[in-house]
Structure 1
């Protein structure tokens, strides 16, 4: 008879989820930047955490298996994601040329809707999200049995929520460093290079 609890699967899910989410990428870079400017942090963290939860549950529900047999869909997402990332790289490069400071009147720059839209795009237009979170995580979870896979999901979703909260709200600890314009120049140059690399790599995978 199956037990209603499987803490081991929850721990494994937490570890796997954290290892896939913590890797520096476009989404994390955006959350970090929003946290540094203290701009719409709560909605951004919420959007990222909820999006991850939906994707994790989708993978565990079997959608990952469907995506494996839909290469044209993955190709479309790759092209759309590459265009978006390269466009974002251009804006980051422009910010690197004309850096900002953490003046009080800049903490709320940008509308909430624009920030949420950007977070959604960086999450849902990233093909690696589907390959890693939906397909890979779904495969691992479904190998842990009917009860275990949902505990795995609970662990992975918890890891995602904690990570984005820590990244968004913990970024303010770096505020003294980013009070200098040159620090922003370096950060935005790194983001521009990262976005360009990711965008080009997506096109090369076609």
Structure 2
């Protein structure tokens, strides 16, 4: 899904101005074609209207065995392209030389799929889903890990999972309508006991 650019919008009641995604006019549906070990699946984000700004997208996992919907609110979702050292197991369908997206194998049959959710006029949320590629089941979802003030979101490998920088604190002492008023921190994401575990790292 393409973000048309960034615009500055002033929030009401004296709130801070933050960077937000400019509404796109093109069809915003997208499909991720994936393979974990011997298991092939697709992750599909579909807009009923075909217009991102309607915030009506749903997400599905598709395999040869059927189709399962992710338990997400209707919204405007987007993929996170792989900018770091994780080995992507998915590519954006129809995109040439995309370099893969941020969907990573946990083991021989499970994958963690990271995505964004628009929250205009604020910063985008980052979410993650745990998918069983062998069965097509959605094992767990965390739709709001935190917000990112960066257009490029780097998700790095760790010994136990992955980590990414998200906004942890609003610095009220910083008196500007700017990203400097929001402090980032590392959040760790891993899978334990069949569930997604997310925590702020020290």
When normalised by structure 2's length, the TM-score is: 0.20
- Larger strand proportion of the pair: 2
- Larger helix proportion of the pair: 1
When normalised by structure 1's length, the TM-score is: 0.20
Greater relative contact order (Cα < 8 A, sep 6+): 1
Larger radius of gyration: 1
